[in-house]
Structure 1
């Protein structure tokens, strides 16, 4: 996914920035606890299409 697009995308629910999870091919919003799918290289930023993050997934990533 293009970094410029990632830089401007926000969660439609919380308006917080999203992070790309390459393993699951999703955009993650830890604030709202939702993961938005990416299908055919297009982010599906609909709350009805998002899945709820697990408690572990909501924790900040360790760097």
Structure 2
């Protein structure tokens, strides 16, 4: 299920306050500035810094 566009417009990275964007399969939200991905579980973004995953480690997850 695709993430709601209105939700994406208001979400920001909790560390740098920059915009986040969905990864290809909508299983996470990527912060391009911090190079981390915040997972999306049950259509709920988990926007906690300690739950973020480095983008290099995210590759191949689904």
TM norm structure 1: 0.79
Count of residues in Structure 1 that have an aligned counterpart in Structure 2? 55
State yes or no: 1:48 paired with 2:55.
no
Gapped runs of 5+ residues in structure 1?
A: 58-63
List runs of 5+ in structure 2 lacking aligned partners.
none
CA RMSD of aligned residues (A): 1.5
Runs of 4+ in 1 over 3 A off after TM superposition: none
Matches within 5 A, 1:1-63: 1-23=3-25, 25-54=27-56
Deviation at 1:22, TM superposition (A): 3.4
CA contact (8 A) 2:26 2:40 kept: no
Distance 2:9 2:26 in 1: 19
- TM-score (norm: length of structure 2): 0.80
Cα offsets for 1:11-38 (capped at 9, x unmatched): 0001000001132610000101110000
